[in-house]
Structure 1
């Protein structure tokens, strides 16, 4: 029986029961796997995507407050009705200048950006070549488009090219920096393949915009590939610490997208105070070379420390994940860390394959070496308790 008094149909009841049996009743604490203990004030929390530690930057907060105090009637409507002199348009032009594209399209979220762009550039006659670990939002976009897709092995450019030779011209989709494992795509090789076979290229830079490249322009820019990539997408809820997404594209595509993409047509635009915050954040990020350096120094120190303890890492960035394997093994690792006041983010199905759970540590530029060393000391002390030496990832490192 539902809370409204209406009976729940059998098909929904069966789904709820299956979820409870698989994801709740099997857990030691009777909660979903991603939820362990509640952090305390003294806990070290490595969960936030605010990599440059600017979510509470006074310049950003003041911009939002000033826009709210300015008042006026805020139009709550789809962005298709906004004109070129809007705050949205000005921010888009500033983002395009930073990354080196003709234009940018501000979206409601990274998810909306990726689903919307795939819906508008792919169809049932367009093959899509997509890395196995590419973000779920792009997979959902492919599904929405109805396009045939071909998965290539993670970061395997040779496998990608073989697929393109078999199935022909299409769309190549990758992340620049992968959100689960923290490793970086071989972008130069992949873009070479795209251009050699006249394919369209799309790179999701959600976790590298702001943190990598000149003035935070991203990995594509840092590798000198900007003029060879068709589209960059990104979430502005990571280093930008906001609630939005972005598409970097040509002027011609920007004129087409808002009137063809369902997430753009059928969702309300961001409000002026949101855009004021993003504009101020962009100014902060452009002038944050010191924060970027601190972030990368922290990440290098932490990666080296974990590897010296025998942990297998794929990471080349500020996203650093341990791979215990099965969900029961993840529970043991999560509890061992949280018992010692260290909190990371549990990644499990559907974010990862069923038996390839990840404990993700997200670093930021505010962290000090002594905090990172404290986490390393915890990771050293729990190796036997969590069975680290028997993890498949550890054995993979040995071979």
Structure 2
């Protein structure tokens, strides 16, 4: 296996090699993380609403551990389907105003499992070229034809729909909010194309669930398009601060997935403590509106500060993702390292996660960040950007 070492050398030479680094939470300061002996302001977390350290969630998880044990012991179709699953799925269906819901172990398994259950050889999936890797891999595993349309380009999608109009089953799938740029999918136009061409529509709300909508239902609900979407997907690992994922839709869809979604069928069920934590988080997401309001205010402040400093910011306006585009891989790594030395945890995102020559620092905001933390951080980022040559006076 000598070839692996040679490939890794090439990878490292292009400033693309990744490595695992330990991070720890700071119990009394949930907006911070510890690396080595350094306490850093955490600007790379997906804990958008600040729920990961919520004492009420931790308490119900502790109680479930004591009463239900550490693990579920089997897949859901064997003996792992504890009563708490059914209660949670009923709550999720009510929240999403859908007929039924199904919980998966994580978002990757949900996307790959659902796509593989809905399409196969002789079918086609129309996928935005900036969709998450779990969507891409789900399409590959399904063996359906993968028709990628240019990012948010509805005319290109229309052309592909016409080209493949004779395929057996057709599915459009898109992120609602794209995780590396923070921009939104044109959901109204996608809904129109779905109706016009008679195709299925699946929307991944991983980065918009909990953030948009009156009760945090997601971008589809905020735009009033929930009834146009056949498959609603979302995760519990971001705004919910826990772990897992869900699919919401018709009862027929959920029945089909229970029988055909291989990652669900052949995986051990989530531990009861995780299900308990999700259920509590769902209550908080729906009722604590101030978290969304705080997040929007924090995002506006931080984004405007970086824009005024002269940084090249991604085109999106997401309240959770503020990407500073650097371009060069090595320069982005140096910038990230300098920020860490200054007390800011901000990870460099490089290809293949993002297109070539668009390496960036992806700042992620949380409702628990204070205005002072954000303004001080923006000032520090500007200073280091000038020192690193990322920002020019």
Whether 1:306 and 2:292 are equivalent positions in the alignment is no
Aligned-residue offset at 1:342: 1.6
Rounded to whole Å, the distance in 2 between the matches of 1:341 and 1:73 is: 36
The answer as to 2:5 corresponding to 1:16 is: yes
Distance in structure 1 (CA, Å) of the matches to 2:383 and 2:70: 58
Deviations 1:213-260 (A, max 9, x none): 111111101100011100111221111112211111210111121221
- Match among 94, 98, 111 for residue 101 of structure 1: 98
1:74 Cα deviation from its structure 2 partner: 5.9
Residue 375 of structure 1: CA displacement?
Answer: 1.5
C-alpha change, 1:153 and 1:74, in structure 2 (3 Å) is closer
| Structure 2 length-normalised TM | 0.90
Matches within 5 A, 1:130-145: 130-145=127-142
Structure-1 separation of matches of 2:80 and 2:341: 54
1:164 to 150, 161, 164: 161
Could you tell me which residue of structure 1 aligns to residue 352 of structure 2?
Answer: 350
Q: Distance in 2 between matches of 1:254 and 1:71?
A: 26
Q: 299-308 or 107-116, which moves further after superposition? A: 299-308
Q: 1:146 aligns with which of 124, 143, 147?
A: 143
- Residue 286 of structure 1 is matched in structure 2 by 286
Does structure 1 residue 125 correspond to structure 2 residue 122? yes
Q: Aligned pair 1:275/2:275, yes or no?
A: yes
Which residue number corresponds to residue 370 of structure 2? 368
Change (3 A) 1:338 1:147: same
The Cα RMSD (Å) is 2.3
Per the alignment, residue 379 of structure 1 pairs with 381
1:72 CA drift (Å): 6.7
Corresponding residue of 2:390: 388
Residue 212 of structure 2 is aligned to residue 206 of structure 1: no
Gap change, CA 1:40 and 1:223, over 3 Å in 2: farther
Query: In 1, Cα distance between the equivalents of 2:367 and 2:96?
Result: 22
Distance 1:358 1:174 in 2: 22
> Aligned match of 1:325 in 323, 327, 336?
327
Q: How far 1:136 sits from its partner (Å)?
A: 0.2
Per-residue deviation at 1:349? 2.5
Say whether the 8 Å CA contact 1:33–1:331 is kept in structure 2: no
Where 1:81 maps in the other structure, the secondary structure is coil
Q: How many angstroms does 1:41 deviate by?
A: 4.8
Matched residues, number = 376
**How many angstroms does 1:39 deviate by?**
6.5
Contact conserved, 2:72 with 2:270, CA < 8 A, in 1?
no
* Contact 1:23-1:32 within 8 A present in 2 as well: no
1: CA distance between counterparts of 2:141 and 2:307? 40
The gaps in structure 2 that reach 5 residues or longer are 23-33
- Secondary structure of 1:373's partner? helix
Is structure 2 residue 83 aligned with structure 1 residue 81? no
Secondary structure of 1:96's aligned partner: helix
User: Structure 1, residues 325-351: CA drift from partner, whole Å, max 9, x if none?
Assistant: 121121222123223222212212331
